[in-house]
Amino acid sequence: MSKDKAAKPAGKPAGQAEASLSSLVNRNVTIGRRRTSLRLEPAMWDALEEICRREEMNQHELCERIDERRRASSLTAAIRVFIVTYYRAAATEEGHARIGHGALYKNRTRTGGRARTPGSYDSDPV
């Protein structure tokens, strides 16, 4: 037998073994009147659920809004980009200040409870 046609172990067809090791989770969502299947990592599903709670909507509604605004990418890719963008917006200094952590919070604890603005002195009122 040639090297190109080496014997494959009996069992699963080629490619199927790798698919079973995938960490992606399949779930169905309904967008408009169309039901579609999405494959995302468990952390992405958790993030999507958290965003839905915060925005007071279900996954179907949120995925429909994402679908309406996406351009050329797949829905799954658009959802991943949306999740990253959502959390990046919350990770700004202003976003951190609203929830009491980040650089502004660290400055507040070092100056005795008041946040320092860039270029201010400890004696300046904030």
| Residues 38-41: contacts with CB under 8 Å, at least 24 apart | 38/63, 38/75, 38/76, 38/79, 39/76, 40/76, 40/79, 40/80
Does residue 75 fall inside a structural domain? yes
Between residues 116 and 106, the one the model is more confident about: 106
Does residue 14 fall inside a structural domain? no
The string of pLDDT tens digits covering residues 45-88 is 999 999 999 999 999 999 999 999 998 889 999 999 999 999 99
Residues spanned by the domain of 77: 22-110
Does residue 10 fall inside a structural domain? no
Between residues 98 and 125, the one the model is more confident about: 98
Number of domain units in the chain: 1
Does residue 53 fall inside a structural domain? yes
The string of pLDDT tens digits covering residues 1-48 is 444 444 444 554 554 445 456 799 999 999 999 999 999 999 999 999
pTM of the model: 0.61
